[in-house]
Amino acid sequence: MKNKFRIGLVLFLAAGVLVFSGCGCKPTVNKYKVNLEIWGVMDDSDAYLEIFKKYAELNPNIGEINYKKQRIETYEKDLIDALASGKGPDIFLINNMWLSTFSNKIVAAPKEILTEQKFRKDFVDVCANDFIVEKNVFAVPLSVNSLALYYNKDLFNAAGIVAPPKTWDEFLRSATRITKIDSVGEINPSGAAMGTTYNVNRSTDILSMLMLQSEVQMRDEKKRVSFGSDINAREALSFYTQFAKIGSPNFSWNPRLHYSIDAFSEGTVAMMLNYSWQIPVIKNKSPKLNFAIADVPQANLNSPVGYANYWGYAVASNKIIEVDPRSKLAPVTNDIRVMEAWKFLTYLTTKAEAQTVSPTSSTAVVKKPASVFDPAEKYLEKTKQPAARRDLIEKQKSDVDLGVFAKGNLIARSWMQKDPVATESIFGEMIDNVNRGVTNISDALKTAEERIARLEME
């Protein structure tokens, strides 16, 4: 009996040690606080304040979330410099053409937080093409902007044109009917702001879209630029530049005319292609202008193609994390910072799933059902931007200003540009050289391809 008593006592004491040491019971959560700094260029901070507040209430591991609006003119350089110093933002916007530039500065979403399948299900196709590499998601968008047709209803009415053009043939006929050229060659009004580089806003995007609509393969299977000898590329460049060619039956624009956005606001040009960003610009410049927005014209109505220019949020791969030696909280590692940044971005941008997961989970995305609060929808309401998510596009279809752009996002495309700034410059010079007669269409395309190829080999 004494031996049994001694054995029982030993076991009891051992169990007590285990209990009081934390073993044998539910493990305690290793608490920490992560502060997130976000950089953007398009929005003011009030677009996010309610979202930040809601998320902080849901995720106890989040401290402060600060949004800083940057100057777009110097943003890329400022961002690269800040990241190189290790003191840049945790989360930042990149243009859909910048992934190659920032590939060694950002980290993909952990698969347990955001999968390729979830991304493709939620967002329009162009986003997957731009932000997924080898099944890894590197950035997430709130909005996508695609080209649409702005047209002056008064000029259309005066010319007896009852509806905006749906095809490029109709576009040509409308532009020709509206364009008036006086005895000294002055154009007023112009039927379309097309054909030149430097006084047509987003001229190179328009040309890229024409090439994609014409089924030009911008890159080959090995991802090398390959448009230089494509007959469809020649037709696209010829189509675009004809609007600025004196003697062309479709001559309607020249380099001396006002910048396209100004000319449209002044009512001196009937049509221009642009993004939704210009709606408030035009309304501010000319509040009484009678204009509307239509789908971008197509080369083939059975296979419509648009063109996208937009931004997505990415997470910095590394950052110097300052540690407060007086803090009783667990230290924040870079892995924790990355995980929490991606949890927030997934909450911010993706569609809520049916079940809400616990905020104490180390990897789960903290999210309430969409019927309660949808951060992306709240953002779009405040900023008046077309949606990137398919379910929100459905809701925006009937919007007078945004409906066309939202639907256009479903057919939007882009093409990979390893140095988009340089590529835009090369395309612009190509157009200008053709207009000035410095080179012909065929040679201009070959030269542009060679210049881009050399650029990418450096």
User: DSSP string of 362-400?
Assistant: SSPPP---TTT--HHHHHHHHHT--BSBHHHHHHHTT-T
> Rounded CA gap, 141 and 124, in Å?
10
Q: Which two tokens stand for residue 287?
A: 């509040």
Q: Tell me how far the alpha carbon of residue 109 is from its chain's centroid.
A: 17
In order of 150, 383, 392, the CA distances from 349 in angstroms are: 29, 14, 11
Amino acid letter, 441: I
Asked if residues 428 and 197 have their Cβ atoms less than 8 Å apart, the reply is yes
pLDDT at 328: 73
Record the pTM.
0.89
pLDDT at 330: 82
Amino acid letter, 380: L
**Are 34-145+310-394 and 148-307+418-457 the same fold in CATH?**
yes
Task: Name the nearest CA neighbour of 156 among 136, 141, 171.
Answer: 171
Task: Name the nearest CA neighbour of 129 among 315, 303, 388, 302.
Answer: 388
pLDDT at 458: 80
pLDDT at 31: 87
Q: Tell me the Ramachandran region of residue 160: left when phi exceeds 0, alpha when psi lies from -120 to 50, beta otherwise.
A: left
pLDDT at 371: 54
Class of domain 34-145+310-394: alpha beta
pLDDT at 322: 74
Query: How far from each other are the two terminal CA atoms of the chain, in whole angstroms?
Result: 86
- What is the residue-level pLDDT of the chain in tens, covering all 458 positions? 444 434 443 333 333 333 333 333 333 345 899 999 999 999 999 999 999 999 999 999 999 999 999 999 999 999 999 999 999 999 999 999 999 999 999 999 999 999 999 999 999 999 999 999 999 999 999 999 999 999 999 999 999 999 999 999 999 999 999 999 999 999 999 999 999 999 999 999 999 999 999 999 999 999 999 999 999 999 999 999 999 999 999 999 999 999 999 999 999 999 999 999 999 999 999 999 999 999 999 999 999 999 999 999 999 999 988 766 667 778 899 999 999 999 999 999 999 985 344 444 555 555 554 458 999 999 999 999 999 999 999 999 999 999 999 999 999 999 999 999 999 999 999 999 999 999 999 999 999 999 999 999 88
Domain limits of the chain? Answer: 34-145+310-394, 148-307+418-457
Q: Which fold has domain 148-307+418-457?
A: D-Maltodextrin-Binding Protein; domain 2 (3.40.190)
Task: Characterize 195-215 residue by residue with b for buried, 16 or more Cβ atoms within 10 angstroms of its Cβ, and e for exposed.
Answer: bbbebbbbbbbbbbbbbbbbe
- Would you tell me the crossing angle of helices 441-457 and 231-241 to the nearest 10 degrees? 110
